[in-house]
């Protein structure tokens, strides 16, 4: 399993895994069942949702990963990634500094 760091916590893998498959109605039914069986409770700290998308116009697959993290303050925070900044000439420097910041957060 993979270690994942956020600004508030570090997750060392493990936990529970549930695969959502089928039609939209089946997935909604599965989510209702998970809620009714207390799959999510007050001890849940994060939910990772990962999925693949396919764009047939350009024959391209994309891997998406969403994180819903429950903060100790019971608040919420929406973070976004601005992809346009990767089109500048300092992209490699910016990515290196961002990765260094993420690594430092993981060790604190």
pTM of the model: 0.59
40-84, pLDDT tens digit by residue?
887 888 888 888 888 888 888 888 778 888 877 776 666 666 655
> What is the torsional sign of CA 10, 49, 80, 64?
positive
For residue 85, CA distances in Å to 70, 77, 88, 89, 90 come to: 28, 21, 6, 9, 9
Nearest CA-CA partner of 65 in 83, 53, 82, 78: 53
CB atoms within 10 A of CB 45: 14
Quote the pLDDT of residue 81.
Answer: 63
The enclosing H or E element of 49 equals strand 46-55
Confidence of residue 36 (pLDDT cuts 50, 70, 90): very high
Average pLDDT over residues 93-105: 75
List 46's β-bridge partners, or say none.
69
Average pLDDT over residues 1-19: 80
The span from the CA of 87 to the CA of 90, in Å, is 8
In the three-class reduction of DSSP (H, G, I as helix; E, B as strand; rest coil), residue 103 is classed as helix
């Amino acid at each position: 399993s993979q270690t994942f760091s956020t600004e508030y916590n570090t997750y060392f893998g493990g936990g529970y895994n549930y695969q959502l498959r089928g039609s939209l109605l089946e997935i909604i039914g599965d989510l209702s069942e998970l809620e009714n069986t207390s799959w999510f409770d007050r001890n849940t700290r994060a939910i990772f949702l990962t999925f693949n998308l396919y764009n047939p116009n350009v024959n391209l697959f994309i891997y998406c990963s969403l994180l819903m993290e429950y903060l100790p303050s019971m608040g919420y925070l929406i973070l976004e990634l601005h992809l346009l900044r990767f089109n500048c000439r300092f992209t490699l420097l910016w990515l290196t500094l961002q990765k260094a910041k993420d690594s430092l957060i993981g060790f604190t």
